[in-house]
Structure 1
Amino acid sequence: MASPIAGIQQFPVKKPSFFQRVKRNLDLHKHSYILMAPYFILFFLFTILPVLISIGISFTYFNMLEFPRWVGWDNYARLFLEDDVFLISLKNTILFAAITGPVSYVACFVFAWLINEFPPKIRAFMTLIFFAPSISGNIYFIWLIIFSGDTYGYANGFLMKIGLVYEPIQWLQDPKYVLAIVMLVQLWLSLGTSFLAFIAGLQTIDRTLYEAAAIDGIRNRWQELWYITLPSMKPQLLFGAVIQITTSFAVADVSMALAGFPSVQYAAHTIVTHLIDYGTIRFEMGYASSIATILFIIMMTTNLVTQKLLRKVGE
């Protein structure tokens, strides 16, 4: 039997435009937008606007004394064609982020997952132990003692005692070791905000989901992790990824505290230390803004890729 509407010509429904959707949302949720307006205003003034101004300044020559002078793409051409130190810092930063970012992210989740199984009092104590390094003050002196270049350094003393070396190694003055040591210290410090976010996310998972999953055929902890735990924690996973990306690409304090500024042969030089050099020492603000813009593009690209990967969790 033919459909009664088979002979009726159907026209495609016109989708509302972007501005129409915005207007409709404003009409439906105007009270919510009014309540959020103070935050949006402050966020625009102190986050979005400075970023836009920095991008604009990156196309100028600006030394803080004279009015900015337009130079176009000269700063970017200088970065990639003339500034060998920037290329070294770019390589170091990418290598640093590629290693410490994923390792610290996975470590934060694994430790949070394991600690979450303890009773409340033990869980609170273990959380404090793991989180303490990230909130301590100037703790780099501990690692300066460990990797001291004389026989009193713990690393040298241990290696000389067991006979692996016969004279002290200049750990923080040798380009072969500096970046690896900075990565090690950064990993030690990485159990911070992301770790707490994962602990909080694990605490909010509805326990009845695991009971229902057991009835549906999930039989081991790994299946529970992939199909229940991780999908239930997607907001915390995304937040932790953003924090870890920012931390791994914006490393500077650890490098300067351990390897000096600048480090020997720029072995631990990063994009942020290069930015500090031109922004706060040389006051070449246009050039420093171009460095910041490149870092911003790298971080945003990495963040978008990470978001796409996290959407596949639990599929």
Structure 2
Amino acid sequence: MTGKTAVVSETGMPLGKRKRLSHFHKHKLQYLMLAPFVLLFTLFIVIPVLWSIGLSFSYYNMLQPARWVGLTNYELLFLEDDIFLTAVKNTLAFAVVTGPLSYFLSFFFAWIIHNLRFSNGFALAFYAPSITSSVALSVVWLYIFSGDRYGLINNLLIHNRLLERPIIWLGNPETMLYVVMFVSLWMSMGAGFLVFLAGLRNVPTDIYEAGAIDGIRSKFQEMRLLTLPMMKPQLLFGAVNAIVSSFAVFDIATVLTGMPSPNYAAHTIVAHLYDYAFIRFDLGYSSAIAVVLFLFTLTLGRICMRLLSSKDQ
């Protein structure tokens, strides 16, 4: 007779199973405290994601039962839907510009404010825009980028004789995406800034004292050799947050440029998803769009985790 024989304890129970039960009894309080989060996460995240993946292979309009169509939605999405390809191009351009800029500027301003005397007051002023409704702030930016002579930027440029006629910032397909990028960048640095500031304040001060003894003299050397290695968890969280935020742009773009924007110049993947889900009620097709967006963010998130995570943290 060949094969491996399971190790059995004196009670007749396999040793591996007994160890698992012992581990569970030892940490049962931690498991009980973790159970509500696991339950809610499964109920509101895992199950909807799996349901959306299954729905992406069907036709479903909320009035009739879902009908299996296989890969038809994905074929239409990549081979026949030119507007979706435009949305992908706009979203990728948006993510490439605003994602890294938001990430690095958030850390840079957090590092500067951390070294100021009244850092709490400056931190509150910097973080305040991120807790304000994006729709409310977009109304302010609509006035700033208004296409008539009374718009703040046009009025300033005309008053200083830099322009002869006003620029239609939010009606011109050549400029509207850049305006949305600028506004989104200004509004997206708050969350990452707060995470980086917390990480900077959690770095032990004795590390800097030891670094000064070892010959580190400038603030930039401290940041490169001491601060950044100690902030890998915060850097990873900020990177993932920047990726998700840059790919999820929707409300700012629709408020500033309309739904849809002229010539779809500021049309994004989330706007395309919203169009098919809540205007056309084609939930199977919109689920296919959601799956593609999920794969985009998941892939980039895994790349960031591989670059910024470490085995010792």
TM-score (norm 1): 0.88
SS of structure 2 residue aligned to 1:139 = helix
RMSD over equivalenced CA pairs, Å: 2.0
User: Structure 1 residues 247, 286: closer, same or farther in 2, change over 3 A?
Assistant: same
Q: CA deviation at 1:239?
A: 1.5
1:88 to 62, 86, 89: 86
Distance 1:134 1:308, change over 3 A: same
Report the more deviating stretch, 186-195 or 21-30. 21-30
What is the rounded CA distance, in whole Å, between the counterparts of 2:99 and 2:221 in structure 1?
25
User: Which segment is superposed worse, 188-197 or 276-285?
Assistant: 188-197
Aligned partner of 2:41 in structure 1 is 43
The number of residues matched between the two structures is 293
How far 1:27 moved relative to its partner? Answer: 6.2
Q: Which residue of 2 aligns with 1:10?
A: none
Give 1:204 shift: 1.1
Letter in structure 2 aligned against 1:41: L
Q: 1:237 is matched with which residue: 235, 238, 247?
A: 235
* Residue identity in the other structure for 2:228: L
Letter in 2 for 1:270: T
| Pairing partner for 1:134 from 130, 137, 158 | 130
Match of 1:115 among 113, 116, 129: 113
List per-residue Cα deviations over 1:53-102 (Å, max 9, x = no partner): 00010000000111111111100010000100000000000000011000
**Counterpart Cα distance in 2 of 1:229 and 1:29:** 34
- Aligned equivalent of 2:280: 282
Inter-partner Cα distance in structure 1 for 2:20 and 2:144: 58
Q: Quick one: distance in 1 between partners of 2:261 and 2:85?
A: 15
Tell me how far apart the structure 2 counterparts of residues 223 and 310 of structure 1 sit (CA, whole Å). 20
What SS does structure 1 have at the residue aligned with 2:189? coil
1:116 alignment partner AA: H
Deviations 1:253-284 (A, max 9, x none): 11001001100100000000000000011110
Q: Does 1:176 align with 2:174?
A: yes
CA distance in 2, matches of 1:21, 1:199: 42
Offset of 1:141 from its aligned partner?
1.7
CA–CA separation in structure 2 for the residues paired with 1:199 and 1:227: 18
- Aligned mate of 2:197, from 196, 199, 203: 199
1:291 match? 289
1:6 is matched with none
Residue of 120, 123, 130 corresponding to 1:124:
120
Give the residue type in structure 2 aligned to 1:201: G
CA-to-aligned-CA distance 1:237-265 (integer Å, 9 cap, x gap): 11111211111100001100100110010
Aligned to 2:8: none
Summarize the alignment of residues 1-315 of structure 1 with structure 2, pairs less than 5 Å apart: 26=24, 29-119=27-117, 122-137=118-133, 138-311=136-309
Change (3 A) 1:290 1:19: farther
1:264 maps to amino acid = P
**What amino acid is the match of 1:91?**
K
Residues of 2 paired with 1:28 and 1:217: CA distance?
A: 47
Q: Shift of the alpha carbon at 1:28?
A: 5.6
CA 22–92 in structure 1, closer or farther in 2 if over 3 Å, else same: farther
How much does 1:219 deviate? Answer: 3.2
The one-character-per-residue Cα deviations of 1:120-148 (angstroms, maximum 9, x if unpaired) are xx211111111111112311122111111
Q: Distance in 1 between matches of 2:231 and 2:241?
A: 15
Shift of residue 165 of structure 1? 2.3
The equivalent of 1:4 in structure 2 is: none
Amino acid at match of 2:48: P
Unaligned runs of 5+ in 1: 1-17
Which is further off, 190-199 or 212-221? 212-221
- In structure 1, C-alpha distance between the alignment counterparts of 2:258 and 2:26, rounded to whole Å: 56
For residues 231 and 128 of structure 2, the distance between their equivalents in structure 1, rounded to whole angstroms, comes to 24
Distance 1:232 1:50 in 2: 36
Change (3 A) 1:115 1:89: same
The Cα offsets for residues 205-237 of structure 1, whole Å up to 9 and x where unpaired, read as 110011112223333322211221112111111
Letter in 1 for 2:131: I
Equivalence for 2:9: none
Q: Which runs of 5+ in 2 are unaligned?
A: 1-15
Cα contact 2:236–2:309 (8 A) shared by 1:
no
Give the Cα separation in 2 of the matches to 1:156 and 1:34: 60
